[in-house]
Chains A and B, each alone.
Chain A
Amino acid sequence: MTRWVGALLAALACVAVLVDVERAPERPLAEQPFPDSAEYTSSASSLSHDKGFFTYIYHNSRQPPRYPPGYPMALSPFAAVGSYPRDVQRGAKFWAMVYVLVAVAAAWSLGGSLAALLAAIFIGVSPFARVSAGLIMSDGYIATLTVLMLPLLRYATRSGARLAGTAAGFAMIVRLTAGVNFIALLATMPRRSYKGLVAFALPSVIGLGVLQWLLFGSPLKTGYSYWGVSGHFFSLTYATASSVIRDGPFIFPDKLNGALFNWTCPCRVGGPQDSMSNLAFYPALLASLYWIYSPPLVPLLGLFYAWRRRREAIARYALLVTALTFVVFLFYHFQGARFMSGPATLLLVLASVWLAELAGRLWWALLRLLRRQFVTVDTA
């Protein structure tokens, strides 16, 4: 009975968050981050209408986008129906809803309905999913592909390894730095799953190489090199430098408007979220001191839980993805809360699982105490 009530509550919470995300306001394309959103939208439409992987946003001339094709590919089925750019915007909203579903399902598979309920609440009270639904940006999709691995590691099946490989391959062609997901999978999946994992991840990477060879003359040349913006992306000095280019709060804003870091100001126009070094910003973000993915400090519970269980595949995967993503973006020229969407959601899910476990233990301890008291009263 309790199990059914828990499942019903979790399902209701998940539906409530999905409805909220579906109703999230869409930012007009002209006001979305340029050129990211504009290129994603245009190239998704181009792919969908059999015009190749190109964008038409530069004086209507046909140009290859600077970003890899993974996200436009995921949006392209939506670009086939309806009017531009609303059709693509609908696709972005769809993937934001899938993000919620996958995160809640991952929590459910690891910690039951209470964990799912908690994950739904944490996502529902945080801005990331809602803002993602109104933006044509790849961060929600990347997070979905990252968190999807949790239930696949929990139930290591043959088709699960294939799905993990496919998702890891797709993540790499959305954002090249998502290669950390694949490395983490190789380090955590059982050896018998390697074949399926690699066989289903490689086609995406090979496909990307072929496309880049066709468009830019070399499999290693990307759209960034075509547009002349590929130099000096990574440097050790970016960890502490103030010269990094920051998203600030203008793409994914902190629900608290930087209130927990106001003591560090005077700051730039965007407040503390627009003023910190990579070395200070990303740990603060991963601890949710900027409330974007989950309420403050919640991910620390997930991190603690993962560390205590670091010998298990799921915890090791979460720790590796978090550590590798942090290291990669620590030395990156661009700073944005969105780059941590994968690890932040992993930690949110694990925090929900741990809290559910603690609540379960507390519940049983309470029951035992009550039973003991009744038995004492009976025998008296």
Chain B
Amino acid sequence: MSASGGKETLFASGPDGTAAAPWIAPGFVYVFRLYSLVPEHRLLARLQIGHATQLQVLAPPQPPKLTSPFVNRLLQILSFASVALLAILAAMHIREVLDD
């Protein structure tokens, strides 16, 4: 944690939990940074409170799941087809209205 641009000090550590910050006062800007130490020292998130409150998540908390090449190809086809489907259905509707 650093207050109003000052030096960073340790606020809390551990795999989970809560800690009170009763010293927070109006008129100051506090920046909290969340680091992971395993497997490497890495900045995960940054929370600023004060004049303009801001939360930045820089790194996700767990590794993402991947999708298979089959699913990726399916998503590609569905994406392209979705636009075509809208156009085809719109054309069918216009034709039906004109026929009536």
Contacts and interface: CB of A to CB of B under 8 A. Distances in A.
Interface in A222-281: 226-229, 245
A50 B64 contact: no
Chain B CB count within 10 A is highest, among A48, A53, A163, A211, for A163
Interface string B67-90: 101011101101110110110011
A124 interface: no
A52 interface: yes
Interface in B23-79: 45, 53, 55, 57-61, 64-67, 69, 71-73, 75-76, 78-79
Nearest to A215: B65
A86 to B, nearest CB: 19
Interface in A171-225: 200, 207, 211, 214-217
A294 interface: no
Given A50-B73, A50-B76, A226-B64, A159 B93 contact: yes
Contacts of A138: none
Contacts of A361: none
A310 interface: no
Contacts of A229: 55, 57
Contacts of A160: 93, 96-97
Contacts of A53: 67, 75
A112 B40 CA distance: 66
Contact residues of B: prevailing secondary structure: helix
Contacts of A51: 72
A152 interface: yes
A166 interface: yes
A76 B86 contact: no
Interface string A37-73: 0000000000111111110001100111000010011
B100 interface: yes
Contacts of B65: 64, 214-217
Contacts of B12: none
A72 B71 CA distance: 16
B91 to A, nearest CB: 9
A72 B82 CA distance: 11
B57 A47 contact: no
Nearest to A59: B59
Given A62-B66, A77-B80, A163 B75 contact: no
Contacts of B45: 228
B75 A52 contact: yes
A52 B66 contact: yes
Q: How large is the interface on A (under 10, 10 to 19, 20 to 34, 35 or more residues)?
A: 35 or more
Contacts, number: 100
A214 B67 contact: yes
Contact of B97 (A48, A72, A157, A162): A157
B79 A52 contact: no
B57 A163 contact: no
Nearest to A207: B78
Contact of B93 (A74, A152, A216): A152
A297 to B, nearest CB: 32
B35 to A, nearest CB: 15
A215 B68 CA distance: 11
Interface string A136-162: 000000000000000010010111101
Given A50-B72, A51-B72, A207-B78, A166 B83 contact: no
A226 B57 CA distance: 11
Nearest to A204: B82
Contacts of A245: 53
Given A48-B76, A217-B65, A63 B60 contact: yes
Contacts of B67: 52-53, 214-215
A167 B86 contact: yes
A214 B72 contact: no
Nearest to A229: B57
A245 B86 CA distance: 34
Chain B CB count within 10 A is highest, among A52, A54, A62, A80, for A52
20 contacts: A50-B72, A53-B75, A59-B59, A63-B64, A74-B83, A76-B80, A77-B80, A77-B83, A155-B97, A157-B100, A159-B89, A160-B93, A163-B86, A166-B85, A207-B78, A214-B67, A227-B57, A228-B57, A228-B60, A229-B57
Closest 10 CB pairs of A and B: A159-B92, A163-B89, A76-B79, A52-B72, A73-B79, A157-B96, A159-B93, A52-B67, A155-B97, A160-B93
